[in-house]
């Protein structure tokens, strides 16, 4: 019994010793900043009330559509996406299954960026503009030619190009560098640090110049342009909010907060034909993380521990529609959409349906658009 007691004591003390060693001797590039989160909104009532509307979503392509972060309708009526292999592919929304393998979606390979394509949109001239987390801002033709457009701004290289939108006249691309400090594989560290590492940028297709529009953002993520083209929205994931940068009018060149105090971490954002904004929320806010917002020293210890343990991601699927006045007009949720799909990173409205992409889960989920938009979108 005495020997057993020694073993039990060792089992208990070993993790404590390991954690103590990490705290004292471990290193991390994370330098957390104290901040104050907006209050967490209610999930029992109001615009973000929990529901199971995404339970009925259908999921396809789980065998071969590998972690498709972003989905973009093409002028040919097909859907385009980028995968964790670096490949950009297109598929027919009317032909989502191979008969012999129902969870295999037939697709055509367009190109391979040799990086990690995330956000992608079509330019009016018919080529794709791609936010590649590793390679930078890219031009990808449908013939498979890949051209690097931009890799830095003001002498600061991009670490994590995340999403992109293109002006209606094709002159500019507006895109985000989520972090100038942490790359795609270390995004959790940027969230823990809450440092001023994110940027909103503008690329000029005529001059080839890149300009920084906003700096100091807390993990700059999804980007979209208003229907009228008078402002750009960028999701500030680490701050649970959407920021607006004015392009036209008396407020041109200034910023304000479009929506604050979201219930989770906003990812990509897309504008629909009616001028509403579809926001993907891959996960809810963590009460523990919020409670430690004003305790940077504790968050630094957490960052050190991430070298040894992986923090779990709680399953959640959430899609929000927000009108131009900043009011939530649709709220679709589930623990797992279609009993499988979660960590939704983009919501794409197309032909009366919503297509949901994920940077962590294979396949794409789809469900009827509750706003009932026409096939002309």
pLDDT at 293 > cutoff 60? yes
> pLDDT (tens digit, 9 = 90+) per residue, 167-224?
999 999 999 999 999 999 999 999 999 999 999 999 999 999 999 999 999 999 999 9
In residues, how long is the chain?
377
Average pLDDT along the chain: 92
Domain ranges for the chain, please list them.
Answer: 2-368
Query: Predicted confidence band at 312 (pLDDT cuts at 50, 70, 90)?
Result: low
pLDDT of 26 reads 67
What pLDDT, in 10s, does the model give residues 118-132?
A: 999 999 999 999 999
Residue 94, pLDDT above cutoff 50 = yes
CA 286 – CA 297 distance, rounded (Å)? 18
Lowest mean pLDDT among 65-69, 79-83, 167-171, 313-317: 313-317
* Model confidence band, residue 82 (pLDDT cutoffs 50, 70, 90): very high
Q: Name every residue whose Cβ is closer than 8 Å to that of residue 283 and which is 6 or more positions away in sequence.
A: 264, 265, 313, 314, 316, 343
Please compute the mean of the pLDDT values over residues 268-281 and round it to a whole number: 98
DSSP states of 149-214:
EESEETTEE-S-EEEEEE-TTSSEEEEEES-SSS-GGGHHHHHHHT-S-EEEEEEETTT--EEEEE
pLDDT digits (tens, 9 = 90+) for 256-267: 999 999 999 999
Top CATH class of 2-368 equals mainly beta
Whether the per-residue pLDDT at 24 is higher than 80: the answer is no
| b/e code 191-207 from CB counts within 10 Å (16+ = b) | bbbbbebbbbbbbebee
């Amino acid at each position: 019994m005495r020997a057993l007691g020694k073993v039990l004591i060792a089992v208990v003390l070993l993790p404590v010793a390991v954690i103590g060693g990490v705290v004292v001797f471990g290193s991390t590039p994370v330098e957390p900043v104290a901040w104050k989160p907006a209050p967490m909104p209610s999930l029992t009532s109001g615009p973000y009330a929990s529901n199971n509307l995404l339970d009925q979503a259908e999921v396809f392509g789980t065998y071969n559509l590998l972690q498709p972060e972003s989905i973009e309708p093409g002028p040919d009526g097909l859907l385009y996406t980028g995968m964790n292999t670096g490949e950009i592919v297109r598929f027919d929304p009317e032909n989502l299954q191979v008969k012999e393998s129902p969870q295999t979606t037939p697709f055509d390979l367009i190109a391979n960026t040799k990086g990690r394509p995330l956000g992608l949109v079509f330019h009016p001239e018919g080529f794709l503009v791609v936010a590649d987390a590793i390679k930078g801002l890219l031009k990808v033709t449908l013939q498979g030619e890949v051209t690097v457009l931009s890799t830095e701004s003001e002498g600061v290289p991009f670490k994590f190009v995340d999403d992109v939108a293109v002006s209606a006249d094709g002159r500019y691309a507006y895109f985000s560098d989520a972090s100038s400090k942490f790359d795609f594989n270390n995004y959790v560290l940027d969230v823990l640090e809450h440092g001023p590492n994110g940027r909103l940028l503008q690329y000029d297709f005529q001059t080839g110049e890149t300009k920084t529009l906003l700096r100091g953002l807390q993990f700059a993520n999804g980007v979209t342009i208003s229907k009228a083209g008078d402002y750009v929205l960028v999701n500030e994931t680490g701050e649970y909010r959407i920021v607006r940068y004015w392009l036209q009018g008396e407020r041109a060149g200034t910023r304000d907060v479009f929506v604050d105090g979201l219930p989770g971490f906003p990812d990509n954002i897309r504008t629909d034909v009616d001028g509403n904004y579809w926001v993907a929320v891959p996960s809810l806010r963590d009460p523990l993380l919020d409670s430690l917002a004003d305790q940077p020293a504790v968050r630094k210890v957490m960052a050190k521990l991430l070298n040894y343990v992986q923090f779990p991601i709680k399953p959640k699927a959430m899609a929000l529609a927000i009108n131009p006045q900043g009011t939530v007009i649709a709220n679709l949720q589930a623990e797992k959409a279609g009993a499988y799909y979660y960590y939704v990173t983009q919501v794409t409205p197309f032909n009366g349906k919503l297509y949901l992409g994920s940077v962590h889960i294979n396949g794409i989920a789809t469900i009827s658009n509750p706003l009932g938009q026409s096939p002309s979108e």
